[in-house]
Amino acid sequence: INVKFDDGGGGLLHKACLTQNIPAALFLTSAGIDPSIVDDREILGRTADQLCFTPQIQAALSDKYRQGSPRNKRRASLRRLTEVDVYSLPAVLVQKTRVNNIKKNVATTFDEEQMMTLAANPKRTDELLIMLQTLLVDVNAMHDDQGDHLIHIAVRHGLCQLPLLSILQRLFNADVNLVNQHGMAPLHIAAEEGDPLLVDSLVCVLGADPNVAHKDSGWTPLHYACHSDNENVISILIKRGADFNREDRQGARPDDVASLCGHQEAKELIQMHRKAHFQMLSEKTAQNCLSKDDLVRSDLFLTDEKGRTLIMIAAENNAVDSLRILLQDPQSPVDAQHEKVFGRNRSATMLKARYTDKIHCSDTDRQNVKQMGL
């Protein structure tokens, strides 16, 4: 446990203190990690306790790890910080100052530019974290000349920046669905770059919305994945809940984008998933065991090879419980028609009337249908 990192950032306890990982700090100190280990960031080096920037992580260290000149050095560095007028700061920064109980300077434009540069270099994450914890800064507000925030810059440099992404969210409340000045969220960037592992991590680990839409075009991550023709990303997004029926502002679904770009395999992959999904919904609807959790709103407008919507299938099969769930959306396509049933146009209402009148249908079913307005 006394190993030092090659990047000059000290030992394991340095990392635990800098990232405010209290369980790790408690484990390392109880295991007897060497308190004299120093990093190579300064001429004399810093011990782990010099990287404690909150009372919580400081309290996790016993006196053995908070003694001698390193603590005095840190006190001297804190005295050099000037106190700021908290009443002139945003509420989120005021709260952060009071919780940390450390006097901080407001980050200057130069400081922000330096932090943007550090975020682009995985080898300088420690330096970035020190600046973020010793300066007053809102990571969801500052951005570079290209309009990217820290979280976007980190995503652009791939999976190696996942630790930084996690820390930005956990310690500094970085919004994983934050859009940059070009309207793109971090997941849009990862999908466009074609990084399946990063896409999966953003959704599963950080909680990114798989259906977050571009603020102007309406493109979702799945649109970007189809545009870049990355089938692995497409599969992961669908597995994690991406809606392959979501339309952009022009009415184009992700497979439409793939078709326009000539990406036939990507188009067929999405259409295969759509067909399988609708088949599952059709069977549950006909068996009267459909649940609300099975549906997303766009499913209501899908049709099978016969042109039938789920509402039509429910009507044909007297599936009253399924029909009740399908009609909860006020924009349900109850009057949609097709030409492949009985030789002429039939809406779900007409189908239900035909079946309730001429096929085995109990009085209870008829009463339920009337109550639903059909």
Give the per-residue pLDDT at 219.
96
CA 206 and chain centroid, separation = 5
pLDDT tens digit sequence for 298-330: 898 888 888 899 999 999 999 999 999 998 877
CATH topology agreement for domains 1-80 and 287-371 = yes
What percent of the chain is modeled with pLDDT above 90? 60
Give the per-residue pLDDT at 165.
96
CA distance 187 to 261: 21
Query: Mean per-residue pLDDT for 44-70?
Result: 81
Give the per-residue pLDDT at 206.
96
Any idea of the CA torsion for 264, 267, 270, 272, to the nearest 10 degrees? -60
pLDDT greater than 70 at residue 48: yes
The CATH code for residues 287-371 is: 1.25.40
Query: Model confidence at 341, in pLDDT bands (50, 70, 90)?
Result: very low
pLDDT greater than 50 at residue 278: yes
CA distance 42 to 127: 12
Task: Kindly provide the residue ranges of all beta strands, DSSP E only, lying in the chain, ordered along the sequence.
Answer: 105-106, 135-136, 337-338, 346-347
Nearest CA among 33, 70, 32, 69 for reference residue 51:
70
**So what's the architecture of 1-80 in CATH?**
Alpha Horseshoe (1.25)
pLDDT tens digit sequence for 206-254: 999 999 999 999 999 999 999 999 999 999 999 999 999 999 999 999 9
- On average, the pLDDT of the chain sits at 82
Nearest CA among 208, 230, 87, 79 for reference residue 155:
208
- Domains in the chain: boundaries: 1-80, 287-371
